[in-house]
Chain A
Amino acid sequence: MATPMSQPASPADVKAELLKRYPAKVARKRAKQILINEAQENETPEILANVRTIPGIITMRGCTYAGCKGVVLGPSRDIVNITHGPIGCGFYSWLTRRNQTDAGPDGENYMTYCFSTDMQDSDIIFGGEKKLAAAIQEAYDLFHPKAIAVFATCPVGLIGDDIHTVAKRMKEKFGDCNVFAFSCEGYKGVSQSAGHHIANNQLFRHIVGVNDAPKEGRFKINLLGEYNIGGDGFEIDRILKKCGITCLATFSGNSTYDQFASSHQADLNAVMCHRSINYVADMLETRFGIPWIKVNFIGAQATAKSLRKIAQYFGDQELLARVEAVIAEEMPAVEKVQAEVLPRTSGKTAMLFVGGSRAHHYQELFAEMGMKTISAGYEFAHRDDYEGRQVLPHLEVDADSRNIEEIEVTADPGRFQPRKKPEEVQALEAAGYRFKHYDGMIPEMDRGTLVVDDLNQYEAEKLVQILKPDIFCAGIKEKYSIQKLGVPMKQLHSYDSGGPYAGFAGAINFYREIDRLVNSKVWGYMQAPWQKNPQLSATFGWE
């Protein structure tokens, strides 16, 4: 039966359709997390974010442990990361994020290993502190690492193991190995986001600033919120080096203990993923006087812009010229591939539902291919990631956020040193330079697009059915249900395959990858010829 030609659905209709099936209470809550992007008297519209997941509604989210151990600490290579808990959590976070590492000249790399206390029921009944201490000792005896980190899983918090005291005791005992712990039980907070915060706090408390031995480099920065998935960090490193910029520490792609320990010596912090790491940026500024800026190395134009922004900060003519030279050198190859794919990609549409900043960053790459983002949202962002940091003072602190410690940071008496004089800052700001700011995703999205927080499986399916995007981006859990609908799906948390997608070389990879996905012949094979024309209308015979 032929379906009547339908009008393109209005955003309001789409929203209504997404909510239709829900019980009233669920619908009411979800309605505030689904936003039609329309400017309201110069104000960014308000969205409900960072609130609890609804039990029974199939969510895309993970947990606090995943955010802490999986995302932030996972990519550090010379720290032995021990999961304290039953075996599962450690097992699932073992190499599954595609964080690449290079063992470097010192040869230390524990990322390929999974360490766990594999708690048994006796540990749950009698407490797991003894076993944890023994596990730390065994790790120390076997590997003699510079640092051992301990991550708590759900049951650990319930039975009340004091992991911090155990860590402290072991650190004192060893003398030459820093041991610290993270209370990142999965039930804390409402998503991975709480885990990022906890990871940031402890990194700052236990490692940042412990090594004062001077680091070489004229233009020293830290790169925050870059996890080296599919080698992204390697590509950014290549570009920075080429520009003559020294990256002291990456938080935390392919990072080392010493990078964190020395990171307070940088003169600028460049923040990629705002959500997962803005805490460290703020703390480094308060304690040591290092300013931070938001950058984005996803997309060739974004990369160029970010490099210029870094160079502008230092204000050095030589550096500014060097950056321009690098951009000029890199862009032709990018433009060549861009021109190749444009005829095949422009006018196509995308949806992006990724953890934090990625749902925003990747829109730049799609724009470079002439593709429009018709709907996007974050898995675990807060309102500032959507609407910009100016909303921060107005955020309400709910019970779940109150559970996450805010650490008191003050200026370090000996080492606080403002990197710029007030008049230099003023001059830069007068020229339109913005420190410590993020505008969020919503202002950069088109009118009438749908912004959905904590999208779930049901709404994803509906969105795809109604708006029929040419590509959908999310994580592994979503991949195959979307593809069953005949729409290609690209993972953007830990890329299902390929990469790097950051920087100039990454942009080229991404153009090719998306061209492949949206133009693959396979999407035309859904139906057999006889299904497309089921009536036996053809004439018999072979003439």
Chain B
Amino acid sequence: MLLRHTPKEMTERQALTINPAKTCQPIGAMYAALGIHGCLPHSHGSQGCCAYHRSTLTRHYKEPIAAATSSFTEGASVFGGQANLLQAIHNIFTVYEPEVIAVHTTCLSETIGDDLKQIKRKAEEEGKIPKGKHVIGANTPSYVGSHVSGFASMTKAMAMCAQRTGKKNGRVNIIPGWVEPADMEELKRLTDLMGVKTILFPDTSGVLNGPLSGEYQMFPQGGVTMAELMACGDSTGTLALGEWCSADAARWLDANCKVPCKVLEMPFGLAATDRFIDALRTVAGVAVPEAIIHERGQLVDLISDMHQYLFHKKVALVGDPDQLIAMTEFLVSLDLWPVHVVTGTPGAKFEARIRELTREVPCPVNVRAGGDMFLLHQWIKNEPVDLLVGNTYCKYIARDEDIPYLRWGFPILDRQGHQYFPTVAYKGALRLLEKILGVLMDRQDRDAPEQSFELVM
């Protein structure tokens, strides 16, 4: 028993978080920034934060994660970090030659009160930003929100690069939210199939699932370009996927550039993908091609084929709000019962939406925004489940409680594939479903007595 000290009896905790189901804002900002072509993320604070964020992203994506830091020591913490950042900007443009530096703050620089805008102005005045190069910034104090809101802040900073010319460019902005590089690739494949020209941001495909070729490129081919970001104020409309990750950026473009936006849930599973395709078709004024209808049909086919293994199974889930909402809907649509749902990210809307999605589930459903995995584990001890869905840290619960387990979310430190195989849209749903069936059927095989161990299940 690796989590042997977790008691079944529940007690309310006011102050102590145990086994968090979230992490801090800057890592989200760093991931988003990697989705800009030629961008070096920069962490304004002590170097430890940057080291931690790079390590965690590296372990998850299994790719080099380059990011710089202001390397605060005690002096900077007392006198402010302006000198460090100015020096950093100069060094970065000289040594690494990025197109853009995306600065995010940490709890340290936020507590001191460093003003990114003012420091950037100073850097411009001092000629530290070469012509044609850019510095963008986002405020990401880690004592607010979570990695998810950090991602949203940097995504919004990207939207704020928009330079409205007043002439529409006929493109649709798609803000995919915190999904895997493979998911971003899949969204591009679908929009290509639909014949819709898009600006997708951030876009980490090609950046964080690159080839091994004997060359290291700090700035690989992928990513949304600064030119595209500057053009996104001239798009026909914006589809923002996920209220938590993407809505801020979309609403900013709507308010400031008159690009109308629609905030959708992330397209995981059947219904959410249907809504996404429908919205895309409407905003772009195109018809849905046969190929996509075909993919959808394949998903429905698999659901009907395998339904007997899913029906009325209980599930516990932990992860990030946008993903969890879509996943919960998908599971309910498969006739599974999500009974415990936890996100570490705060937000009352989350609990309300999960309640709505699970209103037909005929047993009590526990939901918590701002919860932790210790709580989830206690809930499971009190009401066992047939399936656990969450990031790698769930493996301890899965082992202790002997529950079939689907690795999904962030971070996944001990498996490969998430950066290559999408889980969004119909194809992604096929994969999710295949994985769920895999763990459930493996368990059935494992537990079957010899007489009922069957070749054809």
Contact = CB atoms under 8 A, between A and B. Distances in A.
Interface stretch (B54-62, B173-181, B290-298): B54-62
Nearest to A23: B94
Interface stretch (A4-12, A138-146, A315-323, A384-392): A138-146
B88 A55 contact: yes
Interface string B334-358: 0000000000100000000000000
A92 B56 contact: yes
Contacts of B374: 113
A438 interface: no
B87 interface: yes
Given A187-B73, A526-B214, A87 B56 contact: no
Contacts of B88: 55-56
Interface stretch (A39-47, A420-428, A442-450, A480-488): A480-488
Max chain B CB contacts within 10 Å: which of A82, A88, A476, A481? A88
B213 A186 contact: no
Contact of B16 (A62, A115, A486): A115
A134 B48 contact: no
Interface string A139-175: 1011100000000011101110000000000000000
A486 B18 CA distance: 41
Contact of A481 (B24, B52, B216): B216
A121 B141 contact: yes
B16 A82 contact: yes
Contact of B91 (A56, A89, A123): A56
A317 B51 CA distance: 50
A94 interface: yes
Contacts of B71: 52-55, 59
Interface string A171-202: 00000000000000011111000000000000
Nearest to A88: B24
B328 interface: no
Contact of A92 (B55, B87, B89): B55
B24 A91 contact: yes
Given A87-B146, A135-B16, A527-B213, A62 B90 contact: no
A127 B144 CA distance: 15
Contact of B64 (A94, A159, A481): A481
Interface in A60-106: 60-66, 82, 85-96, 103
A539 interface: no
Contacts of B56: 92, 96
B68 interface: yes
Contacts of A38: none
B63 interface: yes
A515 B18 CA distance: 41
B216 A485 contact: yes
A505 B405 CA distance: 34
Contacts of B70: 55-56
Nearest to B56: A92
B112 A158 contact: yes
Interface residues of A, number: 91
Contact of B107 (A86, A461, A522): A86
A433 B52 CA distance: 42
Contacts of B217: 484
A399 to B, nearest CB: 7
Contact of B49 (A186, A457, A522): A186
A138 B68 CA distance: 38
B47 A96 contact: no
B66 A89 contact: no
Given A92-B52, A458-B95, A117 B15 contact: yes
A540 to B, nearest CB: 28
A509 interface: no
Max chain A CB contacts within 10 Å: which of B22, B67, B111? B111
Given A89-B52, A158-B112, A186-B46, A479 B77 contact: no
A413 to B, nearest CB: 36
Contact of B69 (A55, A88, A139, A403): A55
Given A113-B3, A190-B73, A63 B49 contact: yes
Interface string A351-370: 00000000000000000000
Contacts of A86: 24, 107, 141-143
B77 A88 contact: no
Contacts of A94: 19-20, 393
A54 to B, nearest CB: 7
A115 B373 CA distance: 11
A53 B51 CA distance: 13
Interface string B197-224: 0000000000000101111111000000
A187 B109 CA distance: 11
B143 A155 contact: yes
A14 B14 CA distance: 57
B2 interface: yes
Max chain A CB contacts within 10 Å: which of B15, B20, B59? B15
A457 B64 CA distance: 10
Interface stretch (B5-13, B243-251, B274-282, B427-435): B5-13
A480 B62 contact: yes
A287 B404 CA distance: 54
Nearest to B213: A526
A87 B143 CA distance: 7
Interface in B1-52: 2-5, 7, 11, 13-20, 22-27, 42, 45-49, 51-52
Given A23-B91, A59-B47, A484 B16 contact: no
Interface in B139-197: 141-144, 146
Contacts of B214: 484-486, 526-527
Max chain A CB contacts within 10 Å: which of B45, B51, B70, B374? B51
A53 B89 CA distance: 15
Given A54-B71, A477-B54, A124 B48 contact: no
Given A88-B23, A124-B111, A527-B214, A457 B146 contact: no
A328 interface: no
B75 interface: yes
Contacts of B14: 134, 138
A143 B229 CA distance: 52
A118 interface: yes
B272 interface: no
A403 to B, nearest CB: 5
A477 B51 contact: yes
Contacts of A157: 77
Contacts of B52: 62, 66, 88-89, 92-93
B74 A88 contact: no
B77 A58 contact: no
A26 interface: yes
Interface string B75-87: 1110000001101
A467 interface: no
A454 to B, nearest CB: 11
Interface string A463-505: 0000000000001110111111110000000000000000000
A458 B88 CA distance: 15
Nearest to A531: B213
A477 B19 contact: no
Max chain A CB contacts within 10 Å: which of B46, B66, B77? B46
> 5 shortest A-B CB distances, which residue pairs?
A63-B48, A88-B24, A56-B88, A56-B91, A134-B15
28 contacts: A26-B95, A55-B84, A58-B67, A62-B51, A63-B51, A64-B48, A86-B107, A87-B24, A87-B344, A88-B27, A89-B24, A89-B48, A90-B20, A92-B52, A92-B55, A92-B56, A94-B19, A107-B4, A113-B5, A120-B144, A121-B144, A154-B77, A190-B73, A458-B95, A479-B58, A482-B216, A484-B213, A485-B216
Given A56-B68, A62-B47, A155-B143, 10 more contacts: A26-B91, A53-B71, A58-B96, A59-B47, A66-B52, A87-B142, A115-B17, A116-B16, A121-B141, A403-B74
